[in-house]
Chain A
Amino acid sequence: MENRIRYARTHVTRNEDLIFERTSPGKSGVALPPLDVPSAPANQILGANLYRDDVEGFPEVSELEVLRHFTRLSTWNYGVDTGLYPLGSCTMKYNPRVNEVVARLDGLATDHPYTPESLAQGCLKVLYETARCLAEITGMDAVTLQPAAGAQGELTGILMIRACLAERGNPRRYMLIPDSAHGTNPASVHTSGYEVRNIKSNAQGCVDLAELGRAMTEDVAGLMLTNPNTLGIFEVQIREIADRVHARGGLLYMDGANMNALVGVARPADFGVDVMHLNLHKTFTTPHGGGGPGSGPVAVKRFLEPYLPAPVVEQTPDGRYRLDSDRPKSIGRVRAFYGNFGMAVRALAYILANGPEGLRQTTEDAVLNANYIMTRLRDVYELPYDQPCLHECVFSDRRQAARGVRTMDIAKRLIDYGFHPYTAAFPLIVSGALMIEPTESAGKAELDAFIEAMRAIAAEIDEDPQFVLKAPYSTRVSRLDEATAARTPILRWKPQ
């Protein structure tokens, strides 16, 4: 029989209307029984000031329609659970399922933050042990788990530096930040009441010691440094950098976003860092993206401990745990209760499941994977800072740009090959950056598939750049108009 189906598309591949656009007047997801009490008008009981009568366009849909709508949308997601997610600087790594098993244990999942200390010993022990493990991994002396994400960790750390220097007599005015830094660094510095002084990187992409020497005056509170930096390169002169900052009375803050390159191999405390944050949702396999929630613990040397946010979990001589809120020099609370407790549970599960050898192996695999990609792509994409990398590698689109194709276009085409794009156009010190971080989670077959895709795109650009400029082709919508979306944002749906 002749196949009469010329063009078949199943309904699940269609683009999806908003739930508001699926409304059908009178439809409802629930059927309530008839009232068996006299009805009372809500506006009279609540008062006019509390009653909202302008709810307009609220979707009227059945339960099944709601279910299907959100189930369909969920199948469009691309996540670590579906494939390689090489978003540089973000460390999108596998979240082992044992974390979730532990986080769902009754006592941990359901305890209320107001539970009295005597009945919350298990939860307090989790907080204490997580902080202790993070202190051991970083070599630091004390840790707060309160900050809800990396940027809040930065703010917490800088406020502690400010409190410490203020007590020494002068909080100072400036904070130094290399030009390769994450954008959150200057924001945290500014919010803490400091002014940012940028320092330019040297030809190797690292801190320029001469430049640092000139910038590091008695007016400068310290240096905020990411190590390895956003090029994935270890600051080999880190001891010298720390010495120069300390010699002028400044403190060294480390942005720990890239700790996935160091865990089990190098400890920031040993190379002169005074205060740093960690991203549990990057390095310690708690969920990242989609609301996380994040967690940005801050680790400090002993002399900064008095300034940690209160309360701090302590162990008493009889082996019990208590919250110490009597901390007169504390910068105060930065987050309700004890931070995102569920993330501490997951991170601790990850740390204990791996143990020291496992954590070290993780770091080595992450570094090996990034170097494998760097080595296999360097003949087709330009490597602006040519040296071995740690956990991520950064290419420039310079060769492809000569044919009119920029990093964002290559990223869009990568979607057609079934991969999540890398980080495009960051760090800013590389023109048209392609920042690739495979993490330790990718096996060789997957790395090879990614490398083949990147090589195929480079070949396509040589043959037909126009073709790549119109990618992606395999998605429900292709190029979105980012500029118009940013210039005239429409932030909520309104009825026509």
Chain B
Amino acid sequence: MSYPPEFLYTKDHEWIRVDENVGTIGITDYAQKELGDIVYVELPKVGDHVTAKESFGTVESVKAVSEIYSPVDGEVLAANPKVQASPELVNADPHGEAWLIQVHLVDRSDLEGLMTAEEYEAFISQEKAH
């Protein structure tokens, strides 16, 4: 699966797509592969605040429970009900239908430290080498 060039990526393997001041956040294809079959997704409620670099939820697979870190500060506008009902969507379509939350961006400067698709692919090929 390729990494969409219009997304930005974190070292903790989340992606964010920004439209105006709304950010849509999910986990990457690399993350879902490493986790294996995902069985449960826990997300914040609409109206909650998420903080950059802090955990906003968890994904649980048959192997492990992992925190999901927010790339940005903001208020939660939507939490994807589809992935909560069918967590396997995260394995099937991590960059599309299985987006996790949408946030109202407070400060666009949060985006500055994130990686482009190209940088992220270089980053994960290093991770794989370890």
Contact = CB atoms under 8 A, between A and B. Distances in A.
Interface residues of B, number: 14
Contact of A483 (B65, B88, B128, B130): B88
B94 interface: no
The size class of the interface chain A forms with chain B is 10 to 19
Interface in A431-465: 431
Contacts of A150: none
A121 to B, nearest CB: 47
B88 A183 contact: no
Contacts of B1: none
A408 B64 CA distance: 13
Interface string B26-69: 00000000100101100000000000000000001011110000
A264 interface: no
User: Interface centre among A183, A425, A426, A428, by most B CB within 10 Å?
Assistant: A425
Given A183-B65, A384-B130, A483 B34 contact: no
A250 B96 CA distance: 45
B62 A483 contact: yes
Contacts of B37: 482-483, 486
Contact of B34 (A384, A431, A487): A431
A487 B64 contact: no
Contacts of B63: 408, 425
Contacts of A428: 64
A487 B130 contact: no
A195 to B, nearest CB: 9
A328 to B, nearest CB: 37
A487 B34 CA distance: 18
User: Interface centre among A408, A426, A428, A486, by most B CB within 10 Å?
Assistant: A486
Nearest to B39: A486
User: Interface centre among A426, A428, A483, by most B CB within 10 Å?
Assistant: A483
B64 A431 contact: no
B51 to A, nearest CB: 12
Nearest to B60: A486
Interface in A464-496: 482-483, 486-487
B87 interface: yes
Contacts of B40: 486-487
Nearest to A407: B63
A425 B64 contact: yes
B12 to A, nearest CB: 10
A482 B60 CA distance: 13
B62 A431 contact: no
B130 A431 contact: yes
A296 B71 CA distance: 39
B50 to A, nearest CB: 15
Contacts of A487: 39-40, 87-88
A465 B39 CA distance: 27
A203 to B, nearest CB: 9
A384 B128 CA distance: 12
Interface in A391-440: 408, 425-426, 428, 431
A204 to B, nearest CB: 13
A239 B89 CA distance: 47
Contacts of B128: 431
A483 B64 contact: no
A482 B40 CA distance: 13
Nearest to A198: B67
Contacts of A426: 64
User: Interface centre among A183, A408, A482, by most B CB within 10 Å?
Assistant: A482
A486 B91 CA distance: 15
Nearest to B66: A428
A407 B52 CA distance: 34
Nearest to B62: A482
Nearest to A396: B130
A257 B16 CA distance: 39
Nearest to A482: B62
Nearest to A398: B128
A64 B43 CA distance: 51
A384 B88 CA distance: 31
User: Interface centre among B34, B62, B65, by most A CB within 10 Å?
Assistant: B62
A441 B53 CA distance: 45
A426 B63 CA distance: 9
Nearest to B91: A483
Interface in A117-134: none
Contacts of A431: 34, 127-128, 130
- Across the A-B interface, the 5 shortest Cβ-Cβ residue pairs: A483-B37, A486-B39, A482-B62, A425-B63, A487-B39
Given A487-B39, A487-B87, 17 more contacts: A183-B64, A384-B130, A408-B63, A425-B63, A425-B64, A428-B64, A431-B34, A431-B127, A431-B128, A431-B130, A482-B62, A483-B62, A483-B88, A486-B37, A486-B62, A487-B40, A487-B88
20 contacts: A183-B64, A183-B65, A384-B130, A408-B63, A425-B63, A425-B64, A426-B64, A428-B64, A431-B34, A431-B127, A431-B128, A431-B130, A482-B37, A482-B62, A483-B37, A483-B62, A483-B88, A486-B40, A486-B60, A487-B39
